[in-house]
């Protein structure tokens, strides 16, 4: 029975609204766990990052851009652990989810370069990273190193010059360029 002045149907509507709101709200435990997973995913500890990013990726509760970020971060952790196949797979998935992710192209290129698989694969990734972010100094340097390894001194020097035009304080790149220009 309702209290005087409050019709029964208003109490029922209020109760129904509260039940709907409770049903639609994310459970506090899951939300807190998701925050913990993101914190772990961003960890500098590779094991924690891999575990946290894996949980974020598996949760299916993140936007596409965040899913790309989780794959990217897990790729970094795999790279740090020298698990290059897994790192390439995660960087590739980050790129699939966000084709404009210049950093994922750069990191995948670095792994191709580190593995000595193909200078051309690395250069292709660096090309895309630079096209997406023309101020990406380290992509110019990395691409220059690959051109130099292939014996294409003119392109290597051009990339080192581009990097130095963006950041003249990069002493190692300046020394590398001076060495090329001196013929050595």
For the stretch 9-26, pLDDT in tens is 433 433 333 333 333 333
- What is the average per-residue pLDDT within 155-183? 95
Q: What percent of the chain has pLDDT over 70?
A: 81
Residue 29 burial by Cβ neighbours in a 10 Å radius (0-12, 13-18, 19+): exposed
Other beta carbons within 10 angstroms of residue 180's beta carbon come to 16
The fold of the 29-99 domain, in CATH, is: 1.25.40
pLDDT (0 to 100) of residue 184: 61
Q: Does residue 57 have a pLDDT over 90?
A: yes
Contacts of 73 (CB under 8 A, 6+ apart): 41, 42, 49, 53
Say yes or no: do domains 29-99 and 113-184 share a fold: yes
pLDDT (0 to 100) of residue 136: 97
What does the block give as tokens for 138?
């380290």
Q: Does residue 174 have a pLDDT over 70?
A: yes
- Report the predicted TM-score, pTM, of the whole model to 2 decimal places: 0.78
Beta-strand ranges (E) seen in the chain are none
- What is the average per-residue pLDDT within 160-173? 96
Sketch the domain layout of the chain as residue ranges: 29-99, 113-184
What does the block give as tokens for 129?
């990273």
Mind giving me the DSSP string for 113-133? HHHTS-HHHHHHHHHHHHHH-
Q: Does residue 128 have a pLDDT over 90?
A: yes
Q: What is the CATH number of domain 113-184?
A: 1.25.40.10
Q: Does residue 183 have a pLDDT over 90?
A: no
Q: What percent of the chain has pLDDT over 90?
A: 72
Average pLDDT, the chain: 84
Task: Using alpha carbons only, give the angle 150, 151, 154 rounded to the nearest 5 degrees.
Answer: 115
């Amino acid at each position: 029975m309702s209290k005087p002045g409050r019709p029964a149907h208003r109490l029922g509507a209020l109760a129904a609204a509260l039940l709907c709101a409770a049903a639609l709200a994310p459970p506090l435990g899951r939300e807190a766990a998701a925050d913990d997973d993101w914190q772990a995913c961003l960890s500098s500890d590779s094991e924690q990052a891999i575990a946290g990013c894996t949980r974020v990726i598996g949760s299916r509760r993140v936007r596409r851009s965040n899913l790309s970020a989780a794959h990217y971060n897990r790729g970094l952790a795999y790279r740090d652990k020298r698990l290059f196949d897994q790192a390439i797979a995660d960087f590739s998935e980050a790129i699939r989810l966000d084709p404009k992710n210049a950093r994922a192209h750069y990191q995948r290129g670095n792994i191709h370069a580190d593995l000595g698989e193909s200078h051309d694969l690395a250069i292709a990734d660096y090309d895309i990273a630079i096209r997406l972010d023309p101020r990406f100094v380290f992509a110019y340097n990395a691409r220059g190193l690959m051109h130099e390894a292939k014996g294409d001194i003119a392109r290597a020097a051009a990339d080192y010059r581009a990097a130095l035009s963006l950041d003249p304080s990069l002493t190692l790149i300046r020394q590398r360029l001076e060495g090329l220009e001196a013929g050595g």
